[in-house]
Amino acid sequence: MRDPSITEFDLVVFGGTGDLAIGKLMPALFQLELDQRLPPGSRIMATALSDLGRAAYIERVAASCGQDGTARDADLWRRFTDRLDYVALDATRQDAFGPLLERLAGREDIVRIFYLATSPDLFGPITANIGAVRLATRQSRVVLEKPLGEDLASSGAISEAVGRIFEERQIFRIDHYLGKETVQNLLALRFANALFEPLWNNRHIDHVQITVAETAGIAGRWRYYERIGALRDMVQNHLLQLLCLVAMEPPISLDADAVRDEKLKVLRSLRPLGEAEAATQTVRGQYRAGVSDGTAVPGYREEGGATADSNTETFVSISARIDNWRWAGVPFYLRTGKRLHQRNSEIVIQFRAVPYFLFAGARGEVRPNRLVVRLQPNEGIEFLMMNKVPGPGGMRLRQVPLNLSFADTFKSRNPDAYERLLLDVVRSNQTLFMRRDELEAAWRWVDRIREAWDTLAEAPKPYAAGTWGPSAAIALIERDGRTWHDIE
C-alpha cells in the first residue's frame, strides 16, 4: 500500500558516479522500489562529468544493488531502471544544462529534488546555475551532503550561496546518522515511556559516553581527510547531533522546528573549550601501522598519497559539559577515530549508583544501571541492571542485560538511513535535517577547539591500528574515576 504523503517527484543527483551516489543512494532508492514506496511517474536522473551512456550507468548501479540479470526481483529491477537516466554535464557551466532542461521540461508542478553528492566547494556554483537556468521551483528541494564547509566562515559562505536560490524551508542538510532506526528510537524511548524521562537529569545520570569507532582507514581519501581531520569530519556533525538528541528538552511537538529549536539550545549551552580546557579535556590521535581485523595495515602517514610529517588527527576524544539545569555537572565523553579495535557506534547513559547499598555481604560486583543504545553494527537497546543469580548459596548479584535487538524483536529488515531520509525530503519533513543556525552553533564550538589546538601546537598522540586509540584518551575519562564502556 502506497503512502499518500509520498508524491510523484523528479530526483536529480549531481555527482551521480561518485561513491555516495553509487554505493548509498542508488541501493537505497532500489530498496524503496522493492518496498513499493516510489510513486508511479517518479524519475531519477544522475549527472556527472563522465561521458557515460544510460546503459553503462545502469550497469554500474546494478553492481552496487546486487543485480546480475538473474535476480528474483527482475521485474522490480526493470521497473526501477525505467525510472533511471544519466546526463553527462559539467554542472559548473551554465551552458551545459541544456540536456537536463529538456528532460525536466513540463514537470514544474511536481516535487523536484536536487541532491548535491559533490564536493562542497561546488555547492555554490551548482545552485547558482540551477537558479540561472530557472530549474528551481516552489516545489524544489536541495539536499546538501557533509562536510558543509571546513569552519564557520566557509560554512556560512555555502549557506549564503545556496540561500540565494533556495529558501531555508527548501534546504535539507543531511546527516545520515539521524536516519538510523536506533537514533529515532531514542526519541521514542525518552518521550513515549514514563520510565526514563523523570530520571533523565543530573540527579540520576552520572555521565554519558558517545562513541563512533571505525576499523577502516582512509581508503584512498587521504588528501580529503588531511584537510578535514576527525574533529571536523565526525565531531562537528555526527557526534554533536547525537549529543543533542540525548540532552535536548522535550519539544512541544515533533514539528521540525520544535525539535530543532531544542537541539539548538543544547549546542548553545555547550561550555566553550579554550586553550587551557583543550589541553586537559581533549585528546588528538593519529594511527600508526598495526593489525586491524587480523590484517597488517599501514599507518596514516604511510597511506597512498600521504606525507611523512602530517599532524592531522584521525582520533578525537573530548570531555564536554552542558551548562544548564538539567545537565550541570554531568560530563559527556565524545570519542571517534579511524583504525580502532572494532566498528562500533553507541550511546551509553551511565546512571548513578544507588544511594545506599542494602545487600551487605552479597557476593559479586555491584554496578550502577547503564542504558546502551547501539547504532551499529547491530542496532538495538540494552539496559544493564543488577539481578540475583538463581539458586542457593546466599545473595549473589550479577549485572545482566535487558536486550532489545531490533532484528530479533521486530523480525523485519532494518531500513538503511538513506531510505528514510530520502522519503523525508520528498515529504518536505525537515525534522532530521540541520537548520542553518544549528549548523553554525556546532561550528562555533568546534572552531574554538581547533583554534586552541593550533595555539597549543601539539602533535597528535600516536596509537597502533587495531587498538582503542591513544592511552591519553583512556586517561581522560579515568581521571574522573570512570572507564570507557567497551574497554572495562
- Active-site residue list: 238
Angle at CA of residue 443, ends 17 and 426, nearest 5°: 45
Does residue 238 contact residue 174 with C-beta atoms inside 8 Å? no
Strands 43-48 and 84-88: parallel
Half-sphere exposure of 142 (CA within 13 A, CB side): 26
Greatest distance between any 2 Cα atoms in the chain: 83
H or E element in which residue 461 lies: strand 461-464
Integer Cα distance of 126 and 117 in angstroms: 11
Between CA 326 and CA 468, with CA 320 as vertex, the angle to 5 degrees is 130
Got the DSSP string for 260-318? HHHHHHHHHHBPP--HHHHHHHEEEEEEESEEETTEEE--GGGSTT--TT----SEEEE
Asked if residue 35 lies in contact with residue 27, where contact means CB atoms within 8 angstroms, the answer is: no
Helix or strand holding residue 381 (H, E):
strand 380-388
Beta-carbon contacts of residue 93 (< 8 Å; ≥ 6 apart): 129
Q: Which three cell numbers stand for residue 431?
A: 525534522
482 vs 371: CA distance, rounded Å = 16
